[in-house]
């Protein structure tokens, strides 16, 4: 088995211990939720741009339950709950995004008609949203690091 010895000053050792303690006290969750808040804003903006009738689905976008694994943490962002007619907002978003048919056109009575294939308003925004989410997560990680440096004081 390999062994590694690191000699560091007391100040560095203390800073690393504080950072480790702050990450164990919910630092990973803070980082993930900071990114999720940005993703919520982006999804609401995308919904607002093209898919608002009553605003139920747009207003219902939120975070699902936080999950922590050995690799880190995660939270899903999608429209929660149901609208006033009892239709699940997540299902409406899925249909708008992916459509209701696999073929872009279909034959009907000898002529070709357009099939509803979805406009990718959720999956299409991933590349635009990802850098903003990463920036928010990095900023929160930096705040946690600064708090650890200052002994838990902001």
Tens digit of pLDDT for each residue in 58-78? 899 999 999 988 888 899 999
Confidence of residue 136 (pLDDT cuts 50, 70, 90): very high
User: For residue 52, is pLDDT > 90?
Assistant: no
Handedness of CA 19, 23, 28, 30 (dihedral sign): negative
HEC-encoded secondary structure of the chain:
CCCCCCCCCHHHHHHHHHHHHHHHHHHHHHHHHHHHHHHHHHHHHHHHHHCCCCCHHHHCEEECCCEEECCEEECCEEECCECCCCCEHHHHHHHHHHCCCCCCEEEECCEEEECCCCCCCCHHHHHHHHHHHHHHHHHHHHHHHHHHHCCCCC
Please give the pLDDT value at position 55. Answer: 84
Whole-angstrom Cα distance, residue 75 to residue 63? Answer: 6
User: For residue 133, is pLDDT > 90?
Assistant: yes
- Range with the poorest average pLDDT among 12-21, 26-35, 59-68: 12-21
Mean pLDDT, all residues of the chain:
79
């Amino acid at each position: 088995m390999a062994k590694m010895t690191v000699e560091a000053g007391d100040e560095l050792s203390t800073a690393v211990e504080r950072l480790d303690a702050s990450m164990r006290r919910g630092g990973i969750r803070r980082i993930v939720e900071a990114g999720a808040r940005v993703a919520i804003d982006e999804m609401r903006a995308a919904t607002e741009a093209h898919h608002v009738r009553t605003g139920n689905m747009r207003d219902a976008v939120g975070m699902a339950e936080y999950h922590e694994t050995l690799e880190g943490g995660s939270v899903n962002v999608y429209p929660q709950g149901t609208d006033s007619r009892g239709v699940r907002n997540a299902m409406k978003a899925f249909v708008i995004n992916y459509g209701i048919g696999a073929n872009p056109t279909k034959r009907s009575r000898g002529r070709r008609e357009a099939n509803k294939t979805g406009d990718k308003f959720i999956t299409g925004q991933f590349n635009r949203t990802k850098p903003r989410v990463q920036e928010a997560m990095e900023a929160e990680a930096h705040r946690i690091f600064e708090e650890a440096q200052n002994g838990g004081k902001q």
